Structure 1
Amino acid sequence: MIVRRIKCLRSLGIRYNSSHYVTTPIFYVNAAPHIGHLYSAVIADAHCRYQRIRNPEKNVRLCTGTDEHGTKIQQAASLHGIPVAKYCDDISERYREVFKSAHILPDDFIRTTEERHKRAVAHFWRTLHSRGHIYSAAYSGWYCVSDETFLTDSQLRLDEASGTRYSLESGHPVEWTEETNYMFRLSQFQDDVRHWVKQEARIRPAKFEKILLDTLSEPLPDVSVSRPSNRVHWAIPVPDDDSQTVYVWLDALVNYLSSVGYPNEGYSAHWPPAQQVIGKDILKFHGIYWPAFLMAAGLEPPGQLHVHSHWTVDGQKMSKSKHNVVDPVQAARQYTMEGLRYFLLREGVAHSDGNYSHVKAQRILNSELADTLGNLLSRACAPSLNPGQIYPSSDAEHLADLLRTLDAAKRLQESLLQLSERCASHYESNHFHLVADTAMATLHAANNFFESSKPWTLKAGATGSNQPRLETIIAMTMDALRLCGIVLQPIIPQLATRLLDKLSVPTAQRGWHYLAESFATEPVNLGGSRQLDGQTSALLFQRILEEKPAKEEQKTQPAKRSKSKKRERRETMS
């Protein structure tokens, strides 16, 4: 089997990949980006940021981009009354802008209309064809235009009243199609794909592994990998046959190879991807077609597929017909893009759909970013408590006394000692919600310690014997903020940077291994006191205020005018 041959090559010391290559799906430009697209991208970006912080020597590479071929693109451009190429340019640029504003840092943004990608697709096609895995045949079946795929009878639902058939998975209508296409011998790779899927931690979460194995338990039919060019003209031509165009999904999947320079020399330094982040709706294409295509071309499939679920809005599925598709640019005007990023990673869990609601977003961001994190920094930096505006060193005697006599100090110490190991475990699994849980629990412990130690009772006489104790309390609090800032860098990179800047933490000391350095492990801060950054505000995140509805605003206007008139009368009488 092909998978076993790859394992044999590895046993001989032949390793294809010397980097940590991560991909998002490339996003289909039939519509503007929404929060589901942003969610895929922030997952991959947070994963890569963690890898860089944890292993600075690792060559981490992130790729994203746009998928720009197929019938739906032709239809969308026609609907908007603009040339297809112009339409693709406009929507692709909107994805770039959204990702840039969300501080997603891809090493490459690839478009399937680029020449480098077209060359890669042509080479990949010729490789499959020369190996005997592609053949021409008359083909007929139920075709779903919306999903760009043929479906079997078992994948359909018949509406008895109208006689129309629909895809069971997507709900989109299908139509009977008969044409001559090129076919890929998918059936020959069923056992190899099943063997690949079964490898430990290959498909995560595990529920999606079961979905793939259920699909693979039935015989796989060969799959059509081309379309007549007179029906789908906005696509890459089949090499040496202009009457056919390459199936959009074969074209799109090859982007992961195009991005690393395939087929040019050197692409194998990044291949295979360590992790590919995808939405659950494209699991079949990435979990069955993609590994089969790669095996047929003699290439190793990806190390892991991380599959995430979707977002509902106030409990309802997002759809254009319901007018509830959430535009990330508009959402960021309410919450800031950093706040939106935090909410998506805080609330989203891979194994089930997340629910987006304004009430929930406002509550979480105010409670956790504004209050738990932001307010603690403001209090520790308050001029009344910290007139010298320093990150002080702790005094060994007072530190020992606080840890001995104050339960809140001991709880904070225990929380900090567990922070690195717990968060590393959660990051490795892309459980960002659990990273946020752990960091917020630590910050709650820090807030509780700050309240329990009552530093404000020491400020009036903060000279002599009171000064070392006050500085020790502030140092312990700032240690907790610094460590949580390091941990949260992959999730809220801009806020974490401002936090660490305010605390004057050198850039070189923001890596993961610096989590081991705090009062929790060392009796005294050997670095001594350092001046806080006066150019950075201690206000990290502004509370989100509920906007009054227009009707409510109108009700308050007469009252305001009435008060104004009374004031005028009083002034006249006096």
Structure 2
Amino acid sequence: MLGQNIKVLKIVLRTYSKNFAGNFYVTTPIFYVNGAPHIGHLYSAVLADAISRYQRLLCPENSGITRLSTGTDEHGTKIERAASASKAPVIDYCTKISHLFAEVFREASVQHCDFIRTTEQRHEKAVHHFWNTLFEKDTIYLNQYNGWYCVADETFITNNQLHLDEQSGVRYSLESGHPVEWTEEENYMFRLSKFQADILYWLQQGNRVRPVKFEKILMDMLNEPLLDISISRPINRVSWALPVPNDPTQTIYVWFDALVNYLTSVGYPDGKYTDFWPPNMQVIGKDILKFHGVYWPAFLIAAGMEPPRQLYVHSHWTVDGQKMSKSKNNVIDPTIAAKTYTMEGLRYFLLREGTAHSDANYCSVKAMRILNAELADTLGNLLSRVCSKALNPRQVYPRFHTAQLREILKTNNGRQLRDVLQQFEGRCTQHFNDRNFYMGADLIMSTLHAANRFLEFSRPWDLKLKISDVDIDKRVSLPMPQCDENCLKLETIIAMTMDTLRVCGIALQPLVPSLSTLLLDKLRVPYDQRKWRNLNHHFVQVAEGALEPSLEVCLNRTHLILFRRLTPKEDDHVEPKLAKMKESEKCKKSKRKTKNVVS
């Protein structure tokens, strides 16, 4: 075992030194096509997309390529059964469902570089090459295997993962609740037991699994001796699968097949795949932690490759406090939900409410309340106020007038907004680095609340009444007119508010890319000034003399309602009074203890 650990150490050091400041590779799990996409699938995808988009904003243009892969898992008995139930050829059924996933992700602005299907020829080539590599290294062997098999989960279950129903005598999987049956058959086995020390070594290098609670769960799994696992099935039992190379009697275990997709997506087995290997971040649901945290690193180490740098594990979504299930008829179809909330609104709600460390609750009343309060009112109304012709008749993003800016920052009102903005970059970066996007959204909204309060207490409408139309005309005709003090102060107040909107718009790009683009386009923020580094370029630096005041810019004249307020449809909710009662009862589980920057 010591020799194997030394081998892994060399791989880690070599790959880290080559790739750490270069390309960045993010993956979602590939989604099983035994049913249409639901919000749990979409959450995995938008979470990975937010990570990917943040990385692109964070890194300089010449520092490498950020790559996001996703796709569909299309082999196994459950797929065959689903196709049979729909009375369609299996490949046609797979294509139909795969296209549903691709379309939902497109509508949700998931900016993937590759959408892989495990029925593609390139994937079969990669799986067979990977299998042969392990076989040649004597980590795969043929053996008679017997054990408890779960047909629904398509996996063997160990004795300590079983529950015996005393009345019926039926055994069930503790993890999934599905029944199991005793099976004896000839399978190809993988020598998992040989790599327990290597997996532990990989896991102990730090930050391998986040949140930390899932790292502890994985460590608990590894406290027990690992047994060799079956990685093939007889073709007469599982026919809809990739064939084992050189053995027509066996097919490859669907999880072995599925995991290799991460290699296929970057061009494995061709040499260029090493430009993106290992993955920097693999986003997975907590139900597939064992496959990605035990089997996957063992397969890779056995092949002489480095395991992923980090697994980011998220919890599940409940609906009104109950687990989603077809039998309860409470599975949320994102395409239908988007008709009520818009796809951008649904994306925001999932990232705003989803927490990796614990299950999140989908509550339709709460979703509408959050989207109206935060996107329509807090963000949208603030933009509308400073862009209105009544307050801003010249329709400009004014320049800062340094003397007036410094005077405003001496007031309690100005200091409060300054303090919030000075802390913004550091706090938001920390939240996004930790992938706590819900905390980032909290921070963004509290910053916008501060800007709303600043605008309210500054009373720019009173200043506007004191400014004559002649002064406004001067501002159009002369570059630097001798203008009324009220005019200069009003422009500075508007500029400070727009500057806060600009900073928040940049930070919102990983969460709501389409909406943030509309906001930044309205303010005419140049594309090369929408990077993460631009969060720290704001009016505080202008006041301190560290940054030159920018030139006045004409706003985009296109009429814009950033996010329309949502209204419940008749079939969405019952009476508002009863809906509020239901929200109070059903949304308790989704509450989190978060502290806003400004109360």
Question: What is the TM-score with the length of structure 1 in the denominator?
Answer: 0.94
Q: What is the deviation of 1:7?
A: 2.4
- Aligned partners of 1:408 and 1:445 also within 8 Å: no
- 1:338 and 2:340 are equivalent in the alignment: no
SS at match of 1:324: coil
- 1:545 and 2:567 are equivalent in the alignment: yes
Q: Please name the residue that 1:473 is paired with.
A: 493
Match of 1:532 among 555, 577, 580: 555
TM-aligned CA distance change 1:12 to 1:44, over 3 Å:
closer
Match of 2:83 among 77, 81, 94: 77
Match of 2:27 among 23, 26, 36: 23
Q: For 2:15 and 2:346, locate their aligned partners in 1 and report how far apart those are by CA, in whole Å.
A: 44
- 1:100 and 2:106 are equivalent in the alignment: yes
SS at match of 1:520: helix
Q: For 1:214 and 1:378, locate their aligned partners in 2 and report how far apart those are by CA, in whole Å.
A: 53
Q: Deviations over 1:180-221 (max 9, x none)?
A: 000000000111111212221100001111111111101111
Q: Please name the residue that 2:54 is paired with.
A: 50
Q: Please name the residue that 2:314 is paired with.
A: 308
Q: For 2:334 and 2:230, locate their aligned partners in 1 and report how far apart those are by CA, in whole Å.
A: 36
Q: Deviations over 1:405-436 (max 9, x none)?
A: 2x121111111111111111111111000110
- 1:390 and 2:396 are equivalent in the alignment: yes
Work out the percentage of aligned pairs sharing the same amino acid. Answer: 59
Q: Deviations over 1:325-376 (max 9, x none)?
A: 0000001000000000000000000000000011110111111111111110
Q: What is the deviation of 1:519?
A: 0.7
Q: For 2:300 and 2:278, locate their aligned partners in 1 and report how far apart those are by CA, in whole Å.
A: 10
Q: Deviations over 1:163-188 (max 9, x none)?
A: 11110011111111111000000000
* Paired residue total: 551
Q: What is the deviation of 1:84?
A: 0.4
Q: Please name the residue that 1:8 is paired with.
A: 10
Q: What is the deviation of 1:525?
A: 5.8
Q: What is the deviation of 1:15?
A: 4.9
Q: Please name the residue that 1:229 is paired with.
A: 235
- Aligned partners of 2:319 and 2:330 also within 8 Å: yes
Amino acid aligned to 2:465: A
Q: Please name the residue that 2:43 is paired with.
A: 39
SS at match of 1:320: coil
Amino acid aligned to 2:58: R
Amino acid aligned to 1:434: M
- Aligned partners of 1:486 and 1:510 also within 8 Å: yes
Amino acid aligned to 1:518: H
SS at match of 2:538: coil
Amino acid aligned to 2:100: R
- 1:136 and 2:142 are equivalent in the alignment: yes
Q: What is the deviation of 1:9?
A: 4.5
Q: Please name the residue that 1:430 is paired with.
A: 435
- 1:184 and 2:163 are equivalent in the alignment: no
Aligned counterparts, 1:312-323, within 5 A: 312-323=318-329
Q: Deviations over 1:68-100 (max 9, x none)?
A: 001111111111111100000000000000000
Match of 2:417 among 412, 420, 423: 412
The answer for unaligned runs of 5 or more in structure 2 is: 472-483, 576-599
Q: For 1:104 and 1:548, locate their aligned partners in 2 and report how far apart those are by CA, in whole Å.
A: 31
The CA RMSD over aligned residues, in Å, is 1.5
Amino acid aligned to 1:542: R
Aligned counterparts, 1:97-176, within 5 A: 97-176=103-182
Amino acid aligned to 2:49: D
Q: What is the deviation of 1:461?
A: 2.4
Aligned counterparts, 1:59-70, within 5 A: 59-70=65-76
SS at match of 1:386: coil
Q: What is the deviation of 1:538?
A: 3.5
Aligned counterparts, 1:264-303, within 5 A: 264-303=270-309
Q: Deviations over 1:281-305 (max 9, x none)?
A: 0000000000000011111000000
Q: Please name the residue that 1:354 is paired with.
A: 360
Q: What is the deviation of 1:223?
A: 0.3
Q: What is the deviation of 1:273?
A: 0.2
Q: Please name the residue that 1:569 is paired with.
A: none
- Aligned partners of 2:420 and 2:447 also within 8 Å: yes
Q: Please name the residue that 2:581 is paired with.
A: none
Match of 1:507 among 527, 532, 544: 527
- Aligned partners of 2:505 and 2:516 also within 8 Å: yes
- 1:484 and 2:504 are equivalent in the alignment: yes
Q: What is the deviation of 1:518?
A: 1.2
Q: Deviations over 1:232-258 (max 9, x none)?
A: 110000000010000000000000001
The answer for unaligned runs of 5 or more in structure 1 is: 554-574
TM-aligned CA distance change 1:324 to 1:349, over 3 Å:
same
Q: What is the deviation of 1:437?
A: 0.9
- Aligned partners of 2:126 and 2:264 also within 8 Å: yes
After superposing on structure 2, the runs of 4+ consecutive aligned residues of structure 1 that deviate more than 4 Å are 9-16, 549-553
Q: Please name the residue that 2:593 is paired with.
A: none
Q: What is the deviation of 1:14?
A: 7.9
Q: Please name the residue that 1:561 is paired with.
A: none
Q: For 2:144 and 2:18, locate their aligned partners in 1 and report how far apart those are by CA, in whole Å.
A: 38
TM-aligned CA distance change 1:169 to 1:375, over 3 Å:
same
Q: What is the deviation of 1:401?
A: 1.3
- Aligned partners of 1:50 and 1:427 also within 8 Å: yes
SS at match of 1:235: coil
Q: For 1:92 and 1:283, locate their aligned partners in 2 and report how far apart those are by CA, in whole Å.
A: 23
- Aligned partners of 2:11 and 2:305 also within 8 Å: no
Amino acid aligned to 1:39: Y
Amino acid aligned to 1:541: F
Question: What is the TM-score with the length of structure 2 in the denominator?
Answer: 0.90
